[in-house]
Amino acid sequence: MVDMRGVNTWQDELASLVENSGIQYTGEPIGIMAAPPPILASTRMMESETETESLKEQVTGFLKSWGEMLVDLGKGCKDIVTQSNLVSEDSFIVQKLGKPMAKASGRLKYLNEFLPEDRDPAIAWPVIFFVLLLALAAISGNSTNNSLVPSVKKMRVHPPSATRILLPDGRHMAYLEQGVPADRARFSVIAPHSFLSSRLAGIPGVKTSLLEEFGVRLVSYDLPGFGESDPHTRRNLNSSAMDMLYLADSVGILGKFWVLGYSSGSMHSWAALRYIPDRIAGAAMFAPMINPYEPSMTKEEMRRTWDQWSSRRKLLYFLARKFPKFLPYFFHQSFLSGNHGRIDKWMSQSLGKKDEILIEGPMFEEFWHRDVEESVRLGIAKPFIEEAVLQVSNWGFSLADLHVQRKCLRNGILLWLRSMYSQEECEWAGFLGPIHIWQGMDDQAVPSSMTDYITRVLPRAILHKLPNEGHFSYYFFCEECHRQIFSTLFGDALGPLNKMAEIDETSLEAVAEEASSITGSARK
């Protein structure tokens, strides 16, 4: 083999590569491992990098990359807007929005102190706003998929169970009796229900034993189109009072009876006091509603009333007064949807502390679901629209008309002067019976400003203020409260009438009178 001088062998090349490491090749054979294939080597490098890079570092790198991309996007948008002259001094946008934007940016300028010094606020804040929108979208997506969200409860249709009477105009009215029978009742009470309720409400949770203890007969009924009562083609508060009168006669109430009004159902009780006062013994009102557009309310009473309500509730009142044809949309989204929901959501109103505790209980939920199912039995929106429109329309009378006052039957100055000396020309007008009003001071559905107005125009009304009580807490499922109510209205609990004892006592008195008459004639 020829020795090539001046040409480095492969051993010399290898020695020159490692000469700085201090290793010298002596010519002895060394074991050299074959180099791994390129694919295997790159795979091992990736595995080692993956093992050394933690999850936190990966997330941090991902967020940094997104941040840089968003910053670049913001700069690009800024360049486009600048080049298009949209923000020049002569542009329409700057002329219309320049001053308001400058004023708003001046007030919010202190927020720039929270940004890093090297960040331009004009770029950073749009990026932050965009990231916030993404975060909110992710949170809302996770909340909708949460397995802990309770399933929606469907409404049931129950078989008919009400007793009904036939009214003079051919309609049928459904009613429910509680307490003592007609022939043993000391006091008869008729209770029209409120909006989104039925005859099943009456006095929610009242015990039969308490009704019997005071000798009370409680009659509740379905308003036209609610529950099992037939709709009324053209109903108003006058027809509502007449329906109540026909009901009283049909169920055997011969004398006077009490009316009980709760919330919006109180407007039917007010109508009874106005149109059939001779049959009403007295009235018990609980959180009574009035027309929120009542023109005789003062500005302060009006302001205190409307300030308590949510924007959605105000909108519903406005639609009922001006555009009632839009109400079916909102009703079909809530209680006419076929699904149950929370009462405060359907009322579009927040509740007080005691009310919140009450509606969370299983007893209230069971009652509420059953009452709503009966209320929407027909599944149509018309009765609810009529009730909502009645609430905010002209009632045909004012509560001031119920105030007791003397009114002369004839006009003229001479007749008026004559009436001062003769009682035959004048008579007492208004409702002469007692009116009791119970108002929870923590009631946000029916504000206390409404009862302030009522007591102002009806100074004879007796107001019972209830501290810390809400819209439901005193009237629903409170036995002690119901006892206090009956004691206030009816006095001592004397129980039901004992007809047999009265008959026996009457017969004994008749026998004694007959015997005394016979004895007297014999002496003569």
Q: What is the domain range of residue 107? A: 99-136
Q: Are residues 223 and 270 in the same domain?
A: yes
Quick one: pLDDT at residue 21? 47
pLDDT tens profile 54-79: 777 777 777 777 777 777 777 777 77
Q: Are residues 236 and 356 in the same domain?
A: yes
Quick one: pLDDT at residue 504? 46
Q: Are residues 177 and 123 in the same domain?
A: no
The residue count for the chain: 524
Q: Are residues 125 and 230 in the same domain?
A: no
Position 360 in a domain: yes
Higher pLDDT, 172 or 21: 172
Q: Are residues 128 and 197 in the same domain?
A: no
Is residue 409 very low, low, confident or very high in pLDDT (cuts 50, 70, 90)? low
Position 17 in a domain: no
Q: Are residues 189 and 325 in the same domain?
A: yes
Averaged pLDDT, 2-19: 50
Position 261 in a domain: yes
Q: Are residues 252 and 398 in the same domain?
A: yes
Quick one: pLDDT at residue 59? 74
Position 142 in a domain: no
Give this prediction's pTM.
0.68
Nearest to 260 by CA among 229, 293, 217, 215: 217
Quick one: pLDDT at residue 74? 74
Q: Is the pLDDT of residue 49 over 80?
A: no
Q: Are residues 108 and 232 in the same domain?
A: no
Q: State how far the Cα of 282 lies from the Cα of 273, in Å rounded to an integer.
A: 9
Q: Are residues 168 and 112 in the same domain?
A: no
Q: Residue 381: which CATH number?
A: 3.40.50.1820
Percent of the chain with pLDDT over 90: 58
Quick one: pLDDT at residue 26? 52
Instruction: Give the DSSP H/E element, type plus range, for residue 426.
Output: strand 426-429
Taking the alpha carbons of 284, 289, 294, 296 in that order, is the dihedral positive or negative?
positive
Domains in the chain: how many in total?
Answer: 2
Taking the alpha carbons of 372, 377, 381, 383 in that order, is the dihedral positive or negative?
negative
* Residue 37 per-residue DSSP state: P
Q: Which of 22-36, 233-247, 293-307 has the lowest average pLDDT?
A: 22-36
Averaged pLDDT, 169-183: 96
Quick one: pLDDT at residue 126? 72
Q: Are residues 225 and 132 in the same domain?
A: no
Q: Are residues 275 and 320 in the same domain?
A: yes
Position 514 in a domain: no
Q: State how far the Cα of 438 lies from the Cα of 454, in Å rounded to an integer.
A: 12
Averaged pLDDT, 11-35: 50
Q: Which of 166-175, 282-291, 507-516 has the lowest average pLDDT?
A: 507-516
Q: Are residues 195 and 128 in the same domain?
A: no
Position 49 in a domain: no
Nearest to 162 by CA among 367, 340, 375: 375
pLDDT tens profile 471-489: 999 999 999 999 999 999 9
Nearest to 446 by CA among 469, 415, 413, 426: 469
Position 454 in a domain: yes
Position 48 in a domain: no
Averaged pLDDT, 491-503: 78
Percent of the chain with pLDDT over 70: 70
